[in-house]
Amino acid sequence: MLILGINTGLNSSAVLMKDNRVIFGVQEERLLRIKNQPGFPGLAINAALKHAGLKISDIDVFAVGGKHSKIAQSRQDDLDKFNNRYNIIKKQWFGKGENIFAKFAKHGLHKLQTFQSLKKGTTDKTLEDCLSALGMLEKHRRYDHHTCHAASAYYGLALEKDEKYLVFNLDGGGDGRTSAVFIGEKGKLTEIASSDSFSPACIYAHITYIMGFMPHEHEYKLMGLAAYAQPNYAKIAKDILMQFVDFDKNNPLIFTNGAKYSNLRNSQGTEKQKLIHDLFRDTLNLRFDTLAAGLQLMAEDAAVRWIKAGIEKTGIRKILLSGGFFMNVKANKLISELPEVEFVNVFPSCGDETNAFGAAFLAYQELRGKNSPDIEFDDYCVGPDACFDIEDAKREYKNKVNFEFFENINDKIVELLVQRKIIARASGGMEFGARSLGNRSILAAPDDMRIINKINAAIKKRDFWMPFAPAVIKDKLETVVDVPKSLKECCSPYMMFTFNVKPEMADKIIAGVHLADKTARAQTVNPKIYPEFYDIISKFYEKTGIPAVLNTSFNLHGFPIVLGACDSVDVFLNSELDVLVVGNYLITRK
């Protein structure tokens, strides 16, 4: 059975499933080179077919994540929703006047509006139009947005299908809802609650916009900033924000927005505009770091209360999480530390891009035969191989860089890491989603704080308060960080949790530690999942006594992660990286 799963929302994507395994997956952004590109993933679909040597007619089922027909053409479509709502408020407040705040507000909005312009020559197309053009309209099936989120987590991460799992989804919205709770048992998902409120994820996105960042993209920057604020001030900001979050009095698994906004529905109605107006007004004069910290405290409090309520209501202590909200690794950390939680995991890069996985999983479950094997998910590096275009790169860049082949490239990488070089590595299948997991990564020794400024100056241009992350070999993880009992079994192979760093290891991985709260978003490098990356870190450990390296995504600021050799060399030449590795090739400037 061949199933092609797609997401047409933010960060559109396609995954190809052959029988019970995903054999290829890629986001449209990686091919189009526009970050978080939404819409119909035509390039991703073609890449999947080419990878497997298939024609579109070979696909048995076209599984769509979400039941909507409208397709966004660019990030601007999403931004316009924010722009329009806040322009209404500003007009009410300022009219046609040009006071100082209005000028700054307009300047900020202009920067957001021009961050990504509409693609030239696009026209409004529905999903039906796109499917018809491919000849797939009769073969397609659509699945509810939140059921797709739940399916990705349950079918992808549940270790024992006969046991019960409580599956929580929370995001900014999809198919009219912003959250849902399911029970997964014996291969089936049963929904037990859902909400259509203005969710904590919605509030997080709107505060991101109010603070001048890109909503549905830069929330992680506010999360990173939060720990630097004064706790007493942060508590005041949290209390302000908590007036917009509540739970149903009869069912604590359902989010509401309190009596003041009792008629609010996230996708429509005047109550939503009233809430946004009040949110903007009440946070307008809060200091930036205080607001970020209060926002994070609100998110953590809401998430923890929700999870605890679910466990109390159902008695189920094995927890799975999905939806864009759970990209919040700080909230995930607190959930993992709850004594009520026996086991927890988060589907990797759990935003809407992964609904392509969820849709494909649901289609398989719906169509599988009685004796068909269960879905297997143990590899997230399912994109194109880094060397698919190496010969093109050799021809195009032969006058600018040297290509040197090494039979054992890992030994050379370790040698350079020990010399404190910053290495860009593109090797093997590309990671799906937002996290670089070693195959499209910038690597460095983690024990020198100066490396942070060097990497930022060379390529990343990250906000100065943002930490980098360590990648740690699995068998040494508990010597580096404190691992809650709920994570003992799976740890964090996809960078979806933060951990408290052990004091005795803080200096050895200082460049990967959040300096304000001494946590690290560690990647657990399992030799079964990442054999080559594990080999590199193990050899680095042998030479230095440090069982970790610094790992950050291989991309220019504001652009997607690199795809293959040509992208890698182009980024290398437009940065100050010390050395590039693509497959077994060491690449240096001439």
pLDDT value at residue 118: 39
Considering the domain boundaries, does residue 378 fall inside one? no
507 contact partners, CB below 8 Å, separation of at least 6: 447
pLDDT value at residue 119: 42
Asked whether the beta carbons of 346 and 332 are under 8 A apart, the reply is: yes
322 DSSP β-pair partners: 169
Domain holding 500, by residue range, is: 390-589
pLDDT value at residue 542: 98
What DSSP string describes 537-566? HHHHHHHHS--EEEEEE-S-TTSPPP-SHH
pLDDT value at residue 94: 86
pLDDT value at residue 266: 77
Rounded to 10 degrees, the C-alpha dihedral 217/220/225/229 comes to 110
Tokens of 234: 């942060």
The sign one gets for the Cα dihedral 354, 179, 367, 162 is positive
pLDDT value at residue 96: 57
Q: Which residues of the chain register pLDDT less than 50?
A: 97-102, 104-122
Same domain, yes or no: 339 and 438: no
Same domain, yes or no: 305 and 280: yes
pLDDT value at residue 108: 45
pLDDT value at residue 487: 97
Same domain, yes or no: 40 and 86: no
Same domain, yes or no: 568 and 484: yes
CATH number at residue 535: 3.90.870.20
437 contact partners, CB below 8 Å, separation of at least 6: 380, 381, 431, 471, 493, 494, 495, 523, 530, 533, 551
Q: Which DSSP category does 517 fall into? A: T
CATH number at residue 285: 3.30.420.40
Considering the domain boundaries, does residue 151 fall inside one? no
Tally of structural domains, the chain: 4
Q: What is the pTM of this model?
A: 0.94
pLDDT value at residue 182: 98
Same domain, yes or no: 428 and 311: no
pLDDT value at residue 111: 42
pLDDT value at residue 123: 57
